[in-house]
Each structure stands twice: as C-alpha cells, then as structure tokens.
Amino acid sequence: MNEMLLKGHPCFDKEAAGHIARVHLPVAPKCNIQCKYCSRKYDCINEGRPGVSSAVLSPAQATLYLEKISQVVKPGVVGIAGPGDAFAEPEKTLETLDRCRRLFPEMLFCLSTNGLNAPDYVDAVASLGVTHVTVTINALDPRVATSIYSWVRCKKRNYRGLDAAEILLERQIETVRRLKERGLIVKINTLLIPGINEGEIPSVARKACELGCDLMNIIPLIPVKGTEFADLKEPSCKIVEEMRSSAGTYIRQSRHCKRCRADAAGLLGDDMRQEISELLRDAAN
Ligand code: SF4
Ligand code: SF4
C-alpha cells in the first residue's frame, strides 16, 4: 500500500516525477513560527524558491484556479505548501481540501507543515483524503533548534529560546506519530544549514526511521536576502551528498527535490511561472 502510494507522487518517487504533475494551491500565507532562513513573498514572479507565490487565494478561489490550471497541466497531485504553514490557519486548509476533493476525487492530496499546529488536525486531513504529508524537522537537540527558530506561537502564546524549541520539537514528533498511526505517507524535510545543524542530520534521520517515516529530503539552505541566514553559504553538492549518504543508513533519501515555489504547477522542474501567475491573478480577482 505505502509503496504504491509512494510511486504515485512525484516528490516521493523520482520516476513519477517524469510524468505526474502536481499543483500547489497557495492558500496558507501565515506562519506560526519564524525560521531564520525564511522570507515569504506573495506577489513575486522572479524568485524560484519555497515561500514565494504570485498570489494568495481563498479556498473558493483555489478551487476555481485548480479547475483552470488542471486544463493546462493535468495534475495527479494537489498540494498545499504555503507560502506559510498549512496549519497556521487550519480552517482555510481544511476548506480548500474539502472543496477540491469534491471536484477532483481521483487526485492525490498532500500537505507540508512545520508540524507545530498539526497534531490536532491529523484526523481531519486524513478524513479529507490527504495521503502524503511532509513535516520539516531541522534539529532534534533543542539547543541547536534555538539557533534556527526566532519564535514559536502555539495556542495563542508566544515562545522564544529553549521553550520555543522544546514545544516545537515535541509537537513535530507528535504530528509524525499521529500521521503514521493514521497510515499516511510521511516525508521529513530537513534544511541543511552550514555551521548550524550538520550534526543533527543523523539524529533526525534516526528518529524519522524510529517513527516509521517513509522518506527524508535533506534540502540545502538557500541563503535569502533579508533573513538572519543571508550571509551563510549554500552547502556544496558534495556536502549535501555526504549528509544524504550518512542519513541514508537510517531512512530512504530523496535526491530530486526542486525546492519549488508555493504556487508551483506542472512536472517538477518545469518553469511555468508566467502561465501560473496569470491564472492565479485571474482567480484572485
Ligand atoms: Fe517559513 Fe515554513 Fe519556517 Fe514558516 S515554517 S517560517 S513558512 S520556512
Ligand atoms: Fe516536491 Fe521538493 Fe517541489 Fe516540494 S519542493 S513540490 S518536495 S520537488
């Protein structure tokens, strides 16, 4: 079952990436944590990285957009990957899934999240037919995590420092545990941040394996202007490969992630920004 589902999703299976298209619906602009590498832009066509989108849509607009873009790219998978976190405003994510599922019952649905607010919604998303979830976990040691996250907002309270790191980590693990209990396919994304979390990669991989996760995706940091990590260097391919090999002793590694935008559509690696942008803006107006 899991193997079959893995093979139907281009981000979870390299072979599927050559012929199955995905559509991201940018309905989640807000975030409940601040990663020191993140800068989100909602009206940007120039950058090709996570966190950017040409527009942000309401659930109703997203449905309309999905109908239009489906005529262009024939997607097999629909996902919510920001530009913020899918569970910062969970009601929007759930409504979008519900609307799109009714329209396209045959498609696979996926989400990505930092995991903080996700434990309470695992049953809901599973019931709405989501089969694949990506949880980003960048460190297991809370002291290391304090260097990666500026703050965390959980259940209407703000946290910083070790408190923030401990709450985030505990809830990330709980999210993964519940997702696996519900039988979903889980990928762990880990940003490789030079000088900050190299030492954490094997521990995250080991934990992901213990929790029964299906795949790990080690993503080299993109240093973005205006963020606290703007002056770090992007890790070399050699270092990324070394990290993947060491983590690969615990859990299967993804090696084909394209670090896509929050409004990406088409086959992985296709650059359809212009067409997407026009359709998104039509749907948003
Ligand atoms: Fe940005 Fe994602 Fe981190 Fe939120 S969880 S701050 S959207 S990278
Ligand atoms: Fe797939 Fe990576 Fe692109 Fe996400 S960023 S849609 S995992 S290829």
pLDDT at 101: 95
pLDDT at 2: 64
Averaged pLDDT in 10-residue chunks for the chain of 285 residues:
72 88 95 93 75 91 95 93 94 97 94 97 96 97 97 96 97 98 96 96 98 96 92 94 96 91 88 87 89
pLDDT at 16: 87
Q: ipTM score here? A: 0.91
With a Cβ cut-off of 6 Å, ligand 2 is lined by 11, 22, 81, 257-260, 264, 268
Does residue 115 line the site of ligand 1, with CB under 6 A?
A: no
Range 2-284 has CATH code 3.20.20.70? yes
Ligand 2: distance of its center to the CA of 82 in Å?
12
pLDDT at 1: 45
Instruction: Kindly give the number of the ligand 2 atom that is closest to the alpha carbon of 11.
Output: 1
Nearest to 134 by CA among 1, 35, 11, 224: 11
Supply the residue whose CA is at minimum distance from atom 7 of ligand 1. 84
Backbone angles phi and psi of 4, in degrees to 5: -65, -45
- The domain limits of the chain are 2-284
Nearest to 131 by CA among 18, 28, 214, 15: 214
